[in-house]
Amino acid sequence: MTGMFPATRLRRTRASAWSRALHRETVLTPADLIWPLFVTEGAGVEEPIGSLPGVSRWSVDLVARRAKEAAALGIPCIALFPNTQPERRTEDGREALNPDNLMCRAIRAIKQACGDDIGVLTDVALDPYTSHGQDGLIDAAGYVLNDATAQVLVGQSLNQAAAGADVIAPSDMMDGRIAVIRDALEEAGHVNVQIMAYAAKYASAFYGPFRDAVGSSGLLKGDKKTYQMDPANADEALREVAMDIAEGADSVMVKPGLPYLDIVRRVKDAFEVPVFAYQVSGEYAMIEHAAAAGAGDRDALVLETLLAFKRAGCSGILTYHAAHAARLLGA
């Protein structure tokens, strides 16, 4: 390839705005964005989250309003995360199975307000419901039990699907859970409920503010390294993705986002399936703090990072900046 074109051709194509527009390889639109929203109890309640400047938890009525806003901005999907009341958190996380839990009430309110104008993606994992903050059931030593947890996740998925969830997104990283969840959804008649698998989810230091947002950070002892991936591994991510696709996932996710764009690209090239990335809470906070400290222009940082996900091969991005970015994109 090198030497095929005179070097000046690249400069020439960049010299004017119309030409840059013509040669642009990647575009970012509001339709590429999924907006994560945190839900809390009460009515008319907005609780700002200290470690996520500009992000709040919303009560069910207000989260439905945010969803309407998202649809109007051209954002195709929102992702829900509940901040369960402390007294409803137990060792076995059974609140995840309650048809009237905060998550299910939020799903119903949003579907009532928006119908099919927006997709509702729901996180499947036990961490917002356990008294120990882990994503699954634990043994006496605190070890997270894969197979026993997968069975509870089936119940949690059916519970969310029955409330109206459009996309089930298991973020727990138990082996084999996609297969059992898919089977159960089919059997229950939820044949068009999609599964977006958090397939390559790393045991990352970037999740801190999220754990504050769902109220699990104070409860969690230790880490999640026995089930989430080692940041040193890339081939293993391909094996995780292969498993989840074989088990029936409709799309896969890589998480966190920017530090793992190499994984996004390898997954896209190897499997040619829809790949999503989660620009997680710590990444969001870094951009906000950097901009507040004068290290860069906030809007430009937001749009550049989101565009980078598209360039790396993402079909879409989960980002706390979704509504702001959609506005910047002139929706």
Name the site residues for ligand PBG (rule: CB under 6 A): 123, 125, 127, 135, 171-172, 207, 210-211, 224, 280-281
Query: Among residues 121, 155, 120, which one has the least CA distance to residue 136?
Result: 155
β-strand pairing of 46-48 with 119-124: unpaired
**Two structure tokens written together for 109:** 């309110």
Q: Smallest Cα–Cα separation from 152: which of 98, 195, 196?
A: 98
Distance from the Cα of residue 239 to its chain's centroid: 20
Residue with Cβ nearer ligand PBG (61 or 131): 131
d(CA 293, CA 312): 28
Q: Are 212 and 50 in contact (CB under 8 A)?
A: yes
**Nearest residue relative to ligand PBG (C-beta):** 210
Given 111, 224, 255, 268, the catalytic residue: 255
For ligand PBG, give the closer residue by CB, 12 or 225.
225
CB of 204 to ligand PBG, least distance (A): 8
Could you tell me the smallest distance in angstroms from the CB atom of residue 256 to ligand PBG? 7
Ordered DSSP codes for 154-174? HHHHHHHHHHT-SEEEE-S--
CB of 123 to ligand PBG, least distance (A): 5
Write down the least CB distance from residue 35 to ligand PBG, Å.
12
| Closest CB to ligand PBG among residues 172, 288 | 172
51 contact partners, CB below 8 Å, separation of at least 6: 208, 209, 212, 213, 281, 285
Is-catalytic flag, 201? Answer: yes
* Catalytic residue of the set 111, 201, 268, 310: 201
> Least distance in Å: CB of 234 to ligand PBG?
19
Which residue, 95 or 123, has its beta carbon nearer to ligand PBG?
A: 123
Cα–Cα distance for residue pair 13/15, rounded to 1 Å = 6
* Cβ-based nearer residue to ligand PBG, 171 or 305: 171
Residues acting as catalytic residues: 201, 255
